[in-house]
Every structure is written in C-alpha cells, then in structure tokens.
Amino acid sequence: MDGGVHSDLSIASPAGPMWRMVVESPRITRLQGRIASASRLPHALRYLLSRTLSAASRLETSISISLSLRRFREYHFSVGEKVKYAILGGISLFSLFIMEVPCFPLKLSIPALYALAILLPITSQFFLPAGPIFCWLLFFYSSKFIPPDSRPHIWVSLLPTLETIWYGASISDILTRLGHPALDILAWIPYGVVHFVAPFVVAACLFIFAPPGSVKVFGTSFGFMNLIGVIIQIVFPCAPPWYELREGLTPANYSMKGSPAGLARIDELFGGHGYTLTFSNAPVPFGAFPSLHAGTATMEALFCSYFFPFYITLIKGKGGKGNSRWRGGRDIRIDVRFFYWLYAGWLYWCTMYLMHHYLIDLVAGGCLATICFFFFLTNDMRDAMEMGWKYRSSSPAPLSAAPSPLQPGSAFGVRNANANGQDPVGMPSISASDANREEHFALDSLDSAARFDGSGDSHDSADELQDGDGDRCAGQRSDGAARCENMQMEPLLGAARKGKGTSRPHSKLRDFAFSAGTDATGSGNQMMEGKPLLSRVMSASKTA
C-alpha cells in the first residue's frame, strides 16, 4: 500500500493503480517549496509541516462508487483476509441480531452507512482499515442485550485470590489506601482523558512519520485486541476491585449496575455526573479481566517504540576535553522510548488506584496487546524499519531494494510486479533483460537513497561498495559488472558457504548482489546482471 490509511484492496491496470488516486496537486508542491525555503521558521516546524503535506498527498479524493466496485471484483483475497473478514462479518451479524436499540428496521442503517462509507474511495481509505475497531465497538455496545440466562457465572473471589497467591499481597488494595485529591487528579488525567485521545494521536503520528501502511497495521492490531478482550470479558466475567469493596464476597448477578469507583471523586470534585452515569450503565460491568486500559497503553507504547525509537539530547557537549559545556565532554541523551513506557506504567497505576482492575488484569491486558502487535505486524513494516526508514526526509521515503536481513528472498528484485509495471507497494520497475523471463525488478533510487546494512552503516549510493577488507567496487556500470563480479563474488560466496550468514546473510553481500550490474546513472536502462548474481548469492546462503 502507498498510504498509511489506505485499505488492503490494491489492484492495478495498464492505466495505472486504480485503488490509489493520489493527490499530487501543484498547490501542495508549491506549499512544500515555500516551507523548504522558509528559513525563518524553526527547523522542527518546517519538518512537521513538510511531512504533513507529504502525508496528505497520499490521500485519495475520488467519490466514484463504480471505481470501488471494479476494485472489489478484481481483487483476489488471500486466505488470511478471508478468515479475517469472515470473523468480523460473523461478529457484526451477531451484534445486529441481538441489538434491541435501535430496533428493526432502524438498526439496518448501521451496516448500510458502513457499506456506503467503504464504497466511496474518499472514505474507504479510513473506514475499511478501521473495520476491526468498528466491529469491536458494535459488539461492545450490543453485549448488554445478551439475555442474563445465557451468560456464564460471575467470578467474584478468583482474581483477588490469584493476585494474593502469585504476588504475595493484594497490590491493588494497597494502592487504594493512599487516597488524596492530588493523586485523584494524577490518576484521572491518563485514565479518564488521555486514554481516549492517545489512539488518535498515535495513528496521526504513524500516518505522518511512519512508513506507509503502518496506520492500517495499528488499526487491525488495536481493533482485534479490544475485540478479543471484550469476548474474554463476556465469556469469563470477573468482578473488579470496587465490587469487593462495595459488596464483599457476595455472589454477583447481572442485574447489578457498574460503578465509577475512584472516578466518582472526580465527579464530586468538578461537580458533574459524567463518569457516574457512564460506568453505571456500562455494557460490561464485570469486565475486569483482561484490562483493556492496560492493553491500549501497551499497544501504543509498542507501536511508538517500534516506529519512533530516537533520542533526545538534554545537554549538548562540544566534543572535546576542556572545550565542552560540561565535564564529560559528550552529549547527554535520553531514549524517548522511556517516556512511552513511563506513560504505560502511569496508566497501570491508575487502573489499580481507581479500583477498576487488579494487577493480574494488567498483566493479561499487556500480554494480549503484545501478542496482537507481533501477530499483525506485516513483513513490509519489518522490512521498512530494518532497512532504515528515513525519519528526516520531508517526502515519503521508498523501501530499500535490498532484502530483509531475516528474509533474504523478500527483496523487491525477486518479487513479481503488477501488470502496470509496478510492484505491490507501488515501486517503479523495469523488465529483465532475459526475454524468456516475465519477472520484473523494482529498483528504487539507489543512487540517491542511503541504504543501511545490519551494523547500522550506510552506503550513500549504488556506485560505491566496500567489503570487509576495505576494497571498493566503484562505477558499476554494464562494462564493469563482470569485473566486479569476478573480483568480489567468489570471496563473498565462500563466506556464505562457510556459514557466515547462514541464518542472516551479511548486508554487504546483499548490497553487492543487488548493485553489481546496476546502472549508476539511474536513467532507467539498468542492466540485469544483478538478477543471476542475486540468485547465486541466495542459493549459496541457503545451501551453506
């Protein structure tokens, strides 16, 4: 996909990609030029505006329903996609069937409006990837209409007993004893405010700064995590800490209302009744296990840590003894991922302090979020981050042509292209020189984009390659491909056969295999000697 919020329906025709009608207006180009030349603006503001405009240029503005219908007819669903949409469709139909308010036939307007949203290309780029989230919200609301006779037994003493056995004490009970108005405000900010805003902020940051397609991964992971969590809460209902404090160990029933617990003090402090009304009429009052508050915070911390792992310089040094701003002479930096997990830990404490969850609930929510994150993380996202996504670029950076260190066969050069001469992620491609082969090779701007190897070093262009001994193979044009191959191919193949890179081929081996035979001019008439060379390298790595 070419955009972070694009749907997973992507087909192509000889006229070009039909699913992506990209906005590339001259107005946006002029705005980007003005921002780049506006030296008076702070660098951070120029960077933010430039990346925002670049991300906005990937949005689709078409309202042609016939275009969407043609895409659906020509799109071929994979097995995983069929299972995914079958699960979402089944849960949605069940939710609509048991829903009593709005009544039939008014409730049919819900699927009708959603169908209209995914038929309009301008809205489908948002609503189709957010399908798991809408399914979760629909199921969460409809769960209150499940007949009480059909619901399972409510566990009252199980969670506090397990917490005492596993952790030696009731951690949540200890935290609730330290009540104070200042702590109430400190707990209310993340639990009652930031929790509902943070997913939108994370999605916006992913769309602007992360590789294209990351928002879709976030929506799928976030939606299925909450959907699975609500299903567990309904199948395995457990009483939260506020029930133990209010009712003791009295058996619970589904006629009992929920409670705002510690948030009632916030209503009293501000003179309102918002949290009292919301939690008293909650569809799932006995949904303590797992904690979706903890799961959401963990999911956000995982995505931010994976896509935005950078440092913040606290004290700037001048790099020399006696000539530095502080005694050490080096910059003092802090990993920003510390703040991501600090927020997650802050919200963990809030859930127990406000008497909504036990510690075991937080552990279960965090584990559920971690499983969903790694399960739905796509190979394209892994490749983009492992190859060094350009955080500092003001335009959407292409993925590297080199294969993933963990998946040597995933290079764009060995992927089949679409009918319009582009590969599945929209990279420009050229045909192989062998007329008997119908494969296409997607080569990005190797002469201008820095490529990163596994050690963190970068190669500024495909014209220059340095092996472990310091030798260089420069100016790799068609007349020098054979010379470069004879000079360095055998040592590299020998290293691969000896086991150096059996599980993870060296990045310089990959770079050489792909750059040998590449026209450094980037004029489009690249030689394809790199294809058999790449095949030889990969086959040697697999047989080593």
Nearest-angstrom CA–CA distance, 452 and 96: 50
Q: What is the 3-state secondary structure (H, E, C) of 90-155?
A: HHHHHHHHHCCCCCCCHHHHHHHHHHHHHHCHHHHHHHCCCHHHHHHHHHHHHHHHCCHHHCCCCE
Contacts (Cβ under 8 Å, ≥6 apart) of 6: 19, 20, 58, 60, 125, 129, 212, 213, 216
Whole-prediction pTM: 0.66
DSSP string, 442-483: E---TTTS-EE-TTS-EES-TT--B-TTS-B-----TTTHHH
Within 10 A of 163 (CB to CB), how many other CB atoms are there? 21
- Helix (H), strand (E) at residue 337: helix 337-353
Look at residues 470, 472, 463, 467 and name the one whose alpha carbon lies nearest to residue 518: 463
Phi, psi of 442 (to 5 degrees): -95, 110
CA–centroid distance for 197 within its chain: 17
Report d(CA 511, CA 53) in Å as an integer. 32
pLDDT at position 534? 42
Element at 16 (helix H, strand E): strand 16-17
Query: Going along 348-489, which residue ranges are E strands?
Result: 429-431, 440-442, 451-452, 458-459
| Digitized pLDDT (tens) for each residue of the chain, 544 residues in all | 444 333 333 333 333 333 333 344 555 555 555 555 555 667 778 778 878 888 888 888 888 888 888 888 888 888 888 899 999 999 999 999 999 888 888 889 999 999 999 999 889 888 988 999 999 999 999 999 999 888 999 999 899 899 888 888 788 888 888 778 899 999 999 998 999 999 999 999 999 888 888 899 999 999 999 999 999 999 999 999 999 888 888 898 998 888 898 899 999 888 888 899 989 888 999 999 999 999 999 999 999 999 988 888 877 766 544 444 555 567 788 888 999 999 999 999 999 999 999 999 999 999 999 999 999 998 888 888 877 665 444 333 333 333 334 444 333 323 333 333 333 333 333 333 333 333 333 333 333 333 333 333 434 333 333 333 444 343 444 344 444 444 444 444 444 444 444 444 333 333 333 333 333 333 333 333 334 444 444 454 445 4
> Which are the contacts of 337, defined by CB distance < 8 A and separation ≥ 6?
301, 304, 305, 309
CA 519/CA 31 separation, integer angstroms: 34
* Cβ atoms of residues 60 and 23 within 8 Å: yes
CB burial of residue 429 (10 Å; 0-12, 13-18, 19+): buried
pLDDT at 75: 84
CA-based angle 282:287:291, to the nearest 5? 115
Q: 358 vs 103, 243, 294, 345, CA distance in Å?
A: 37, 12, 11, 14
- The amino acid sitting at 475 is G
The partner residues of 315 in beta bridges, in order of sequence, read 332
